[in-house]
Structure 1
Amino acid sequence: MKRLRNVLITIVPLIVLFLVADYVLLVPLNIRFEEGFSLFFGLLVIAMIAYFYEDVKYMLQDLAKGHEVAFPSKKVKAAFIVLVVIYIGYHVSSLPVFFSQQYRDLIGEIETKEFVEEIPSVDLAKIPIVDEAYARRLGDKKLGEDVGLGSQVYVGDFTLISMKDELFWVAPLEHTDIIKWFVNREGTPGYIMVSATDAQDVRLVQEDAQGNPINLKYLESGHFGDNVKRKVYFDGNMTEGLTDFSFELDDEGRPYWVVTTYTKRVGINGGSDATGVVIVDAQTGETTKYTVDDAPTWIDRIQPAQFVVDQINDWGWYVNGFLNTLFAKKGIIQSTPGMNYMFLDGEWYFYTGMTSAGADESTTGFMLSNTRTKETTFYKIGGATETAAMSTAEGKVQNFGYSSSFPLLLNIENEPTYFMTLKDKQGLVKQYAFVNVKDYSIVGTGETLSDARVNYIKVMFGNGELPTNPSGERKSLTASVERFGSYETGGNTYYTLILEGMPNLLLVAPSTISPELAITREGDSVEIEYIDATTQTKNIVSFDNLNFAQ
């Protein structure tokens, strides 16, 4: 009877504790998640202690006096053993030693493809030259222009999105503290947009397309029911795994939170895998749940980056089973440190290099994984790792002391190439760099994208003959010369041209094509015939400077 009384006395504060913990911690009420298991297990321990209170009290007294602790009853022993078995059993139930193949299969089937055939040549105007750190600097500066607003809110976490085929970093305005939240209960007045391709395009958006004011009510800095995490959790997702709260815009610029739902696929609590998304209107709080397959097309990211990296690493680590990871380590490959994004044909991809288990400065290839579907492709290309390329680019401008951003992977002249921005100590972009993946001694830098690319191609061509383009359509055009340069390699002189209104068309010709090349200047009108091959630099096959009459 006394034991039952102890349990009844405990159950009310236990329920209160459970409700408070659930409201504050937002723990998924599902033992497949470690947080949920820990909560239920902790409550079970407290209930057992209450039930065996008298026995536990004597045990604690013996412990305090330094006496040998003896279990006073078989029931206490049995209860203790049950708790230990539950705890240990839970934590070993999903170990890779038992489920290595299941972990390896989480990423799905991985195709192996050729880089040049699948990755199109880059358009300079589409290269994201603004990384997240630079976007934050620009966003903070934009907010600082409005002194009154800057004292009320701060710029939240940025998300890289595409909107109408343009790339932007977007971030909500968040409350600075609970007082500002209480005073501005209707929400913060808008969000920041920073073009990923043009550092001059920075916007503070405070009105929607119809001219109505924007008020972001549901935010990570909101409190109680205005907190977006609490809003999603209590809108029917208490048993779901929720992660990756990303701020995104639909095609009309309306702000939403996109939240990934996930489950565990291996054993009881192993192998996190996305199942869909919950989208939350940041102004009204309306929530809608979707699977991966039926999510709206404007959502750029469903798969959390960390899930993808973990699954790629499991795929490479358990290639020959668990025991192989302890001894022979045959065929093991792992992702290189760091990850970036690629935007190809209207789709976003996670990009990471792959290296052997020795973790040296060379890659065995690259992985591209679709940020929505997780469809993953492996490109076998031996070369330098991203960190090695960053060091090479920094070494090229070591006299300035610039630091490199994390690389983007591009296709330049059918060559896998790393692209980086080079920043000064204040975080301002000063130069750009291209580094060849296969041979990271081939580096081109410049104060503009075009200059860096031209210099890169010069060095690349200087290591061998100017490539010929036997296939491709012959095209003719007449235009004015906007930029003109020359370089020598192998005892031959080559001329490079960019024509007015065509910044992404780089033309190159040997001096033997026409004697007029040597006397051509910027502003001259020219008539050119070139081969439109798959390479981004096009070979000129005939050249006529119209400023000279023959």
Structure 2
Amino acid sequence: MKKRIIPMILTVLLWAGMYYYYLPPLNIHSHDSWMFIITILVMGIIINFWTIFRVVFLDRTSPERAANKKVIKKLLLVPVALALFYVGGTLLSSPILRASSYNKLLAVESSDFAADIHEVDYNKIPILDSTSAAKLAEREMGSMVDMVSQYEVSAYFNQINYQNKPVRVTPLRYGDLIKWLTNRNTGIPAYIQIDMTSQNVDLVKLEQGIRYSPFEHFGRNLYRYLRFRYPNAMIRSTNFEIDENGVPYWICSVEDKTIGLFGGTDIKGAIVVNATTGEHSYYDIADVPRWIDKVYDANLLIEQYDYYGTLKKGYINSIFGQRECLQSTEGYNYIALDDDVWVYTGVTSIGGDESNVGFVLMNSRTKETKYYQISGAKEISAMSSAEGQIQHLGYTATFPILLNIAKEPTYFLSLKDGAGLVKKYAMVNIQKYQIVATGDTVAECEKVYRNLMAGNGISNVNTDKAAKVSGVISMMKDIVTEGNSYYYLMLEGSNELFEVEVKNYLGILKKQVGDTVSLEYVAESSGVNVVIGLE
């Protein structure tokens, strides 16, 4: 009897330990749950193998042998039956058989670019990607002598809108297991906040430390803490955010399967956990608080758009005919609009097309999706064009974000040196991607870009801000900046300074002091009037 009980006890203990470690959701729609159940059954068979073998093959004198043998054979069929059911459920949930349902996962609305995306505000342009943010955070952490020996910067660099500005935030993490043991009573004392427009880095110290996080162990580990309170929840992603008062939270997206057993991945709600107190609440997707910026992760949104774009005419067409099939391009970025964070990606036709047919914006909190039909350069092409402008410096371009400059859809890119720090900026016109401007500051880059557009006959550039003046030239000086020649003029009776880029207005070469000139210009915040028309 003992020979049977001991393996059974070991089996139960092993199952409990595996559940405590792997934390699968108790949900029939979860792949992890099915894999866990099949695994523990196989492990149970291995541990009890000798008992099973003895009952089936060796114990020929027991009167219960025949009955036990039938029971054991039926039990051995359970993992096989589960595996077959899993495979069948996977097939019946796949796009091969359910293309129409997958196509309807995402509702896409065609919209107007100029109406939705307002003229650029340079105080809200995020110029850092996650890699550059991490570099700045590491530098800041290195200067904090009292913390750097105990804590490290974590990898949870989440972009949010905080007090109407784009920032990236990430908590610190314990340096190692020993440092966790010595500091766990107080928790993690701070998080890092990076202003993505100014590149300022702040280490925000907390009155009460972060006690619930993925960096904790045992009961305070975030995933274990949630699993024992939400045993059925399929948690897809975990984001670190702060509310408008700077209080840290974990936003845990709860996944749902809407097509068959395993298909149609979507988000049905979010579990919001106060990182310091552990207080938690579940919100359905329609009730998620507005201060939360990210519930849908970018990969899920892009996956759903690709289903929408490729499965309009069925699965077979998406593989062979590919009529009217569209797909997202090779990357994405984030845009802040109306205090929400939107995922941006380009849209191209299937078949190796080197240009975009449009782009989409997808709200990370609500999944609202807008499509803009604007053909032009792919993001990768824009990155190559920007790098080509300063190839002698060897800088690399970040994946672009989308801006509205003079009602022109424009790629904006940061250019990074070998250390991953932003050194320059570039703007590339999406529709006329030969127009590429670079500058040491965003304002300088924009000035060069507007001049280039004006020189290439884009008539709507600056027309809403332009003014005209005529007069006699009283002063005229030429200056060369970054290989470009400029003339600076003053007119009689005025202290205004006018800037003319020579390559765009060659007529300036025929002018001299005392000549009469008519100028169309835009006043810049620097006090210089940029000429966009010359007679």
State the TM-score, normalizing by the size of structure 2. 0.83
Matches for 1:379-394 after TM superposition, within 5 Å: 379-394=372-387
Matches for 1:403-442 after TM superposition, within 5 Å: 403-442=396-435
Name the SS for the 1:116 alignment partner. helix
1:450 offset after TM fit, Å? 1.3
1:332 and 1:262 map into 2 onto residues whose CA distance is 27
2:488 maps to: none
- Asked if 1:85 corresponds to 2:84, the answer is yes
Segments of 5+ residues of structure 2 without an aligned counterpart are 59-69, 470-493, 509-518
What is the identity, as a one-letter code, of the residue corresponding to 1:182?
Answer: L
Name the SS for the 2:402 alignment partner. strand
Matches for 1:309-348 after TM superposition, within 5 Å: 309-348=302-341
Matches for 1:200-349 after TM superposition, within 5 Å: 201-207=200-206, 213-235=207-229, 237-349=230-342
Name the SS for the 1:189 alignment partner. strand
Q: Is the 8 A contact 1:487 1:495 kept in 2?
A: no
The Cα offsets for residues 407-439 of structure 1, whole Å up to 9 and x where unpaired, read as: 011111111110001111111211100011112
Matches for 1:155-166 after TM superposition, within 5 Å: 155-156=153-154, 157-166=156-165
The 3 A distance-change label for structure 1 pair 273 and 500 is closer
Name the SS for the 2:188 alignment partner. coil
The 3 A distance-change label for structure 1 pair 81 and 510 is closer
Name the SS for the 1:42 alignment partner. helix
1:489 maps to: 504
1:548 maps to: none
The 3 A distance-change label for structure 1 pair 140 and 412 is same
What is the identity, as a one-letter code, of the residue corresponding to 2:171?
Answer: P
The 3 A distance-change label for structure 1 pair 373 and 481 is farther
The Cα offsets for residues 130-177 of structure 1, whole Å up to 9 and x where unpaired, read as: 222111111111111112311110111211111221221111011111
The 3 A distance-change label for structure 1 pair 160 and 475 is farther
Name the SS for the 1:17 alignment partner. helix
1:495 offset after TM fit, Å? 6.7
1:435 and 1:117 map into 2 onto residues whose CA distance is 21
Paired residues in the alignment total 485
1:374 maps to: 367
- The answer to which of 324-333 and 48-57 deviates more is 48-57
2:42 and 2:461 map into 1 onto residues whose CA distance is 75
The 3 A distance-change label for structure 1 pair 498 and 84 is same
The 3 A distance-change label for structure 1 pair 253 and 484 is farther
Q: Say which of 10, 23, 41 aligns to 2:20.
A: 23
- RMSD of aligned alpha carbons: 3.1
1:387 offset after TM fit, Å? 0.8
1:204 and 1:482 map into 2 onto residues whose CA distance is 43
Name the SS for the 1:215 alignment partner. strand
- Asked if 1:459 corresponds to 2:452, the answer is yes
Q: Percent same amino acid among aligned pairs?
A: 35
The 3 A distance-change label for structure 1 pair 110 and 74 is same
1:39 maps to: 36
State the TM-score, normalizing by the size of structure 1. 0.81
Q: Say which of 493, 500, 510 aligns to 2:533.
A: 510
1:445 offset after TM fit, Å? 0.5
2:198 maps to: 198
Q: Is the 8 A contact 2:125 2:166 kept in 1?
A: no
1:159 and 1:502 map into 2 onto residues whose CA distance is 37
1:372 offset after TM fit, Å? 0.7
1:380 offset after TM fit, Å? 0.9
The 3 A distance-change label for structure 1 pair 251 and 83 is closer
Q: Is the 8 A contact 2:327 2:349 kept in 1?
A: yes
2:482 maps to: none
Q: Is the 8 A contact 1:277 1:290 kept in 2?
A: yes
1:180 maps to: 179
What is the identity, as a one-letter code, of the residue corresponding to 1:303?
Answer: Y
1:460 offset after TM fit, Å? 1.7
What is the identity, as a one-letter code, of the residue corresponding to 2:212?
Answer: Y
1:498 offset after TM fit, Å? 4.2
The Cα offsets for residues 430-460 of structure 1, whole Å up to 9 and x where unpaired, read as: 1100011112211000111111111112222
2:61 maps to: none
What is the identity, as a one-letter code, of the residue corresponding to 1:129?
Answer: I
1:246 and 1:233 map into 2 onto residues whose CA distance is 16
Q: Is the 8 A contact 1:339 1:350 kept in 2?
A: yes
Name the SS for the 1:130 alignment partner. coil
1:172 and 1:483 map into 2 onto residues whose CA distance is 49
Name the SS for the 1:111 alignment partner. strand
Q: Is the 8 A contact 2:454 2:461 kept in 1?
A: no
Q: Is the 8 A contact 1:367 1:378 kept in 2?
A: yes
Name the SS for the 2:412 alignment partner. strand
1:111 offset after TM fit, Å? 0.8
Name the SS for the 1:96 alignment partner. coil
The Cα offsets for residues 213-239 of structure 1, whole Å up to 9 and x where unpaired, read as: 24111122111122122212222x111
2:38 and 2:376 map into 1 onto residues whose CA distance is 49
The Cα offsets for residues 357-390 of structure 1, whole Å up to 9 and x where unpaired, read as: 1133211111111111101111111111111110
Name the SS for the 1:441 alignment partner. coil
What is the identity, as a one-letter code, of the residue corresponding to 1:220?
Answer: P
1:483 and 1:203 map into 2 onto residues whose CA distance is 40
2:136 maps to: 138
